[in-house]
Amino acid sequence: MFFGRAAIFTRKLAPRCCFVALRGLKMSESSESNSVLFVCLGNICRSPIAEAVFKHVAKERGVLDDWTVDSAATGDWHVGCNPDKRALKCLKDHGIDYKHSARQVTTEDFTNFKYIFGMDEDNISTLRELSPKKSTAQIELFGKYDPQGKTIIRDPYYDDGSKGFEDAYEQCLRCSNAFLDRVVS
């Protein structure tokens, strides 16, 4: 199911969701500007980490104001939820404050964002299925930019500890730096 730019996301019966969120999304006017959307299955672990890390790296480089950055889910299970507490702790441990309510990918995202990065092959497959004919977004794995050659950013959701979140953070840091090295002159 797709939602418009400012949609009321009703609470799903997921255990950690306990509110309704009104989310007005700031979008770029076209996909020709610098814009990136990070996507994973639920938008509570990997894609929020990727969004937060990318914003942090772009800010350190002095280019954050040139970018529209967001994250979203392919599924609707966690719409309106905060990121996983382990993801937030990982970010906080690295000095990154982050607030986000999970949202699902919209039809407009495929024209509002120049780059849409999935975290794994399932995300990419789903994004390509959802992509409308008028899509102008470049859909690719974020891990494609990992200098260590790890193209998949593994989902740490079912992990017992925090190591998977730390691994996702480190990989997103490498990918963010490599991607910005490539696209920012």
- pLDDT interval class at 137 (50, 70, 90): very high
Tell me which of 17, 45, 46, 90 is the catalytic residue. 46
Tell me which of 76, 84, 109, 155 is the catalytic residue. 155
Q: Give the domain ranges of the chain.
A: 41-183
Annotated catalytic, 40?
A: yes
Annotated catalytic, 120?
A: no
pLDDT in tens, 101-121: 999 999 999 999 999 999 999
CATH of the domain spanning 41-183? 3.40.50.2300
**Element holding 129 (H helix, E strand):** helix 121-130
Q: Tell me what pLDDT residue 47 has.
A: 99
Annotated catalytic, 155?
A: yes
The whole-model pTM stands at 0.85
**Element holding 40 (H helix, E strand):** strand 35-40
**Residue 15, number of CB atoms within 10 A of its CB:** 7
